[in-house]
A = this chain, B = another copy of it.
Amino acid sequence: MKLREGVEWAVHCCINLSWVSPDTTVPAARLAAFHDLPTAYLNKQMNALGREGIVASRSGPRGGFRLGRPPQDITLMDVAAAIDGSAQAFLCTGIRHHGPAGRITGQADARTPCTIAQAFSLAELEWRRNLAGRSIADLADAVQRANPAAPEHVRRWFDQP
């Protein structure tokens, strides 16, 4: 079970965008340069965030990305789902209905949801709830508590042409 590495990139970029000066849009190349990431691949992640309204983009010579809504309204679950998809990690292929198992226990089982799939769904729900309870603003605050100068330093770097 692996989350795509783009999730880490996207969360960092959202935190950085929460710190840039208001109305600043940042090109993907600049977001990528800050963490020494490949621009083309980061651009794909940023467009995935854009499709979910997590970032907004402006095209043209002064174009780029900014947050699509306030950082307290963007959760880690929003970012993870935008980059990694929102499908369940546990895929029930219904093998209880296949072969002799299906013939032996099938009729009774067909009326009830699969106990195994339910158990994994419940565990995943805890994971989703936890990530949905933590926003980009929460994380930006935590980074700032550990490193009070970070927001100002990041803002200054992104304000440079």
- The reply on A37 being an interface residue by CB < 8 A is yes
Q: Known contacts being A101-B35, A131-B119, is A109 close to B147, with CB within 8 Å?
A: yes
For the complex formed, measure the closest distance between the CB of A155 and the CB atoms of chain B, giving whole angstroms: 11
Complex contact A92–B8 (CB within 8 A):
yes
Interface mask (A128-148 → B, CB under 8 Å = 1, otherwise 0): 011100100001001100110
- Per the CB 8 Å criterion, the residue count for chain A at the interface is 60
Closest to A14 in B: B116
Tell me whether A122 and B130 are in contact (CB under 8 A): yes
Contact: A154 with B99, CB < 8 Å? Answer: no
Query: What CA separation (Å) do A1 and B55 show in the bound complex?
Result: 22
B-contacting residues, A1-15, CB 8 Å: 1-3, 5, 7-9, 11-12, 15
Q: Is the interface of A mostly helix, strand, loop or mixed?
A: helix
A41 at the interface (CB under 8 A from B): no
Cβ contacts A to B, 28 pairs, < 8 Å: A1-B2, A1-B3, A2-B89, A5-B91, A8-B90, A8-B116, A12-B95, A15-B116, A35-B98, A36-B100, A36-B101, A37-B99, A89-B89, A104-B150, A104-B154, A105-B150, A108-B146, A108-B147, A108-B149, A109-B143, A109-B146, A115-B143, A115-B146, A123-B131, A126-B126, A126-B127, A126-B130, A127-B127
Q: Which residues of A contact B (CB under 8 A)?
A: 1-3, 5, 7-9, 11-12, 15, 33-37, 76, 84-85, 87, 89-93, 95-96, 98-101, 104-105, 108-109, 111-112, 115-117, 119-120, 122-124, 126-127, 129-131, 134, 139, 142-143, 146-147, 149-150, 153-154, 157
